[in-house]
Every structure is written in C-alpha cells, then in structure tokens.
Amino acid sequence: MKKILVLSIVGILTIQSCKEHQTNTNVASEGDRTEDVVKTAESVKPVSTKVQDTIYTKVESSGSLKDIMNGKMGATIALKDLEGIPNLYAIGALENLTGEILIYNSDPIISRRSDKMVTVDHTFKDSATLLVSAQVAEWQDIPVPTSVKSQGQFEIFLQQQALQRGVDTSKPYPFILTGGIAKLDWHVVNWNSNNADHTKKNHLQSSLKGVLTHAYVDILGFYDAKNDGVFIHEGSKTHMHFKARDANLAAHADKIFLGKDLTLKLPK
C-alpha cells in the first residue's frame, strides 16, 4: 500500500492578468447541467487495468469551522511549529479571523485586509484559529477538459479522477488546480473582535472581496465528502485558497469558473 504522510494547516493565494493567455470561455452557472463533464470524466481511461494500490494522504486539522461559528476564534496552532517541514500544503484562517493562510510547498503566504487592499507576507510568525494541512512529496498531473466549467462540474470531475487514480476518497485529501480561470470570486477576512454575532453573512461583510477574471492562478484545496463542519463550509465538499501567478495576491476562493490550460494535481 502506498502511503504519503501529511500534516496540518490552512491558507491562501495570488493572481495574474493574462492578456496573452486571455480566454473566451463562457462563465457557467452552478445550475448548469453536468452531463458533458460526466461523460468526459467517464471517457478518461484508468491509469491501469490492474487493481491499484490505495493512495492515502494524511490530512490534519487544527480548530474547526463549527468552533468559529460559535465565536471561538483564538489560536489553535502556532505557524512557527510548521516551519521547516518539507512538502507542506495548508490553508486556514489567522487567529481572531484577522486574515487568510496559504502554505504552498512549505512557503507561507499570509494575507490581510488593509483598508481596500490586500497585504501579503511570507513568514511563520502568526498563529491560526483554523488550519488544515498535508505533506505531499509527489503529485500526479491530470489535464482538465475545457468542458469542465462550473465549480459543481469541477467537483464531479475531481471526485471521478480521484477514484480512478486510486485516491482513498473515504477520507479527506488535498488537491491542486493550476492554470487559467475564467472568473474567481475571493475574500480576505478581517473580523471585528467587538462583534459577537458571527454568521456567514457577517463573516463576508467584514471581508475584503474581489473578483479575478481571465487570470492564471494556483489553487490549493481539500476535499471531504463527509463535510462534518471541521474545515469544509456548509453546502460544499471543498475548501480552497489561491495565489495569483503575477500579482501579490492570495485569498480564500469562494467560487470558481474554469478557463483553459488547467491541470488537476492529486497525491501520487
């Protein structure tokens, strides 16, 4: 059995304007039909006709979304404890919800709201109230068909590919989506500590929000079919942060619409 050890954290990402790579992909709504992507995914040949070893990647988490919704936003882990760990991938939120965390191949990308701007630093000096992480030494690359457009279609494609590639989908696992997106809605949280009423609506109202279009990004996400409220938001099976390729931006990815030149990466 193949095993890939993993650790725990949570994070964010950056953007790129892509004139030369600009895509004319039409933005698809979440309610679009998914027949095309299902057919596309089913037509992809398995890696092997033999029974594959199960790929299990240990995912660890500190804190939970349930606790945050109940007003518990204090530190649950110091990021300095993760410094020096190789092949580390993590996403999360800073202590007291003062920013977003993305750790991409052991590089910390910490995003904060500053007035109407996002500031980014690359240090381990902060603490997290929520963090989900894994260690992945090798990834397997899977081209994403252009027929996969909406986030709903992508989640179907992700699950199908994970099953075909031998990933243990009964447990949470990390993934990367890299390439051109047609549109990406994002936010960086900056919670008012004097507000005791933490709801999803208030969370977004306290955040700096933005939209990326026709940009090249690297998205790190975690998939969990159980969605037990630990690190996956209600109504979803994924939690994603991104970093832009050619801009000093990283943030929580709220909704994505896929573009072109995209590659899905799964643990190998």
How many domains in the chain?
1
Question: Could you report the per-residue pLDDT of 14-45, keeping only the tens digit for each?
Answer: 334 434 444 333 333 444 444 444 344 343 33
pLDDT beyond 70 at 129 = yes
Q: Mean pLDDT throughout 201-216?
A: 86
Least confident of 113-117, 192-196, 253-257: 192-196
- In the chain, the percentage of residues whose pLDDT exceeds 70 is 78
> What six digits make up the tokens of 158?
């992700």
Question: Could you report the per-residue pLDDT of 67-115, keeping only the tens digit for each?
Answer: 888 889 999 999 999 999 999 999 999 999 999 999 999 999 999 998 8
Q: Provide the mean pLDDT of the chain.
A: 82
Q: Are 9 and 131 in contact (CB under 8 A)?
A: yes
Strand bridging mode 250-258 / 263-267: unpaired
The domain in which residue 177 lies consists of 2-267
| Confidence (pLDDT) at 26 | 38
> What six digits make up the tokens of 75?
């530190």
Q: Specify the CATH number for the domain of residue 95.
A: 3.30.1330.80
